[in-house]
Amino acid sequence: MLYWITLMRPDTLGVIGLGAIGGSVAWQAARAGVSRIVGYSPAPAEGVAAAKAGAITEIATSARMVVRQSDFLVLAAPPAAAMDQLRSAAAEIRSRGIWCTDVSSVKGPIVRLAQSLGLAPHFAGSHPLAGTHRSGFDAARSDLFSGVIVYVTPVEQGDAAAREVEDFWSGVLGAHPVPMAAGAHDSLLAWTSHLPQVAASALAVALAASGPRGVTYGTGARDGTRIAASSVEMWRDVLLMNREPVLKALEGLEDSLGTLRHTLLSGDAAALTNWLANAAEWRRGLGE
């Protein structure tokens, strides 16, 4: 009997940026059986580490070299750098019909850019919910995406590319792709991810500026500021690119602190109880 097997896997996967996310994409694809994975990092040591771990099969010496050899391309640099790479690679992506996606936490700008570059048949944005406060290939894992939600944001008229990108996440990496419009994604993430980042960093900035030195911080302070240690470059790009929704969410946090301030100044125990109880009820509803 003869079986026809359609392989969803790319022949050659290209990954630009071999940090926690890009390194994990390459590594998990290698484990899944993608036979050729070309990777590039502007930090040569990252490429060497990725090759040693078996996450990539070839180290490229430039981003361009990755583009030239891939039939599926993942841009895994911080958001602004990923947009630059998309601009540089656009002609080759169009002429060679490469599938392409990125992995950043803000999707509107890169999706609009892809649209303006005529990449609707080739590009869809991705955002795997697998962020970590750690950076570099050292933070990469070979099973990071198993069971993880990945938002996939299509370009207008880009449904074929979005399907291809979804198939890559589910078929190769075992993740759960969830299609979503880029604008809806960015409004959502402003609350669920960008505001928590801002809150953690703001608390860390306040403690760094005025908090006591050389003292013991308990679990609450440590948990509450952990993601403040995340990549500065990445978050600079995300916050600037998602400015309007982040400012709106920030206003929500400032209002909440304003309510507390008013409550403390007036010594209103009932209002304070109410404020704390709202917070506790919401958090208990999330589970541990």
Per CB under 8 A, contacts with its own copies among 48-107 are none
Cβ at position 104, least distance to its own copies in Å:
15
Tokens, residue 138: 């050292």
Phi, psi of 88 (to 5 degrees): -65, -35
**Quick one: which of 118, 121, 131, 136 contacts its own copies (CB under 8 A)?**
131
Contacts of 104 (CB under 8 A, 6+ apart): 78, 79, 82, 110, 125, 127, 234, 237, 238
Cβ at position 62, least distance to its own copies in Å:
26
Residue with Cβ nearer its own copies (131 or 183): 131
Spatial distance between the Cα atoms of 225 and 61, rounded to a whole number of angstroms: 37
Tokens, residue 264: 């403390």
Q: Hunting for tokens 């490469």 — which residue is that?
A: 98
Q: Give the SS3 label for residue 276.
A: helix
Window contacting its own copies (CB under 8 A); options: 48-56, 71-79, 111-119, 270-278: 270-278
Residue with Cβ nearer its own copies (32 or 191): 191
**Quick one: which of 35, 61, 116, 273 contacts its own copies (CB under 8 A)?**
273
Contacts of 144 (CB under 8 A, 6+ apart): 20, 21, 24, 27, 28, 128, 130
Site track for its own copies across 218-257, x = CB under 8 A: xxxxxxxxxxxxx-xx-xx--xx--x--xx-xx-xxxxxx
Site track for its own copies across 20-49, x = CB under 8 A: ------------------------------
Q: Give the SS3 label for residue 147.
A: coil
Phi, psi of 58 (to 5 degrees): -140, 135
Residue 139 found at the interface with its own copies (CB under 8 A): no
Q: Which of residues 157-216 bind its own copies (CB under 8 A)?
A: 188, 191-193, 195-212, 215-216
Residue 140 found at the interface with its own copies (CB under 8 A): no
Window contacting its own copies (CB under 8 A); options: 43-51, 55-63, 130-138, 167-175: 130-138
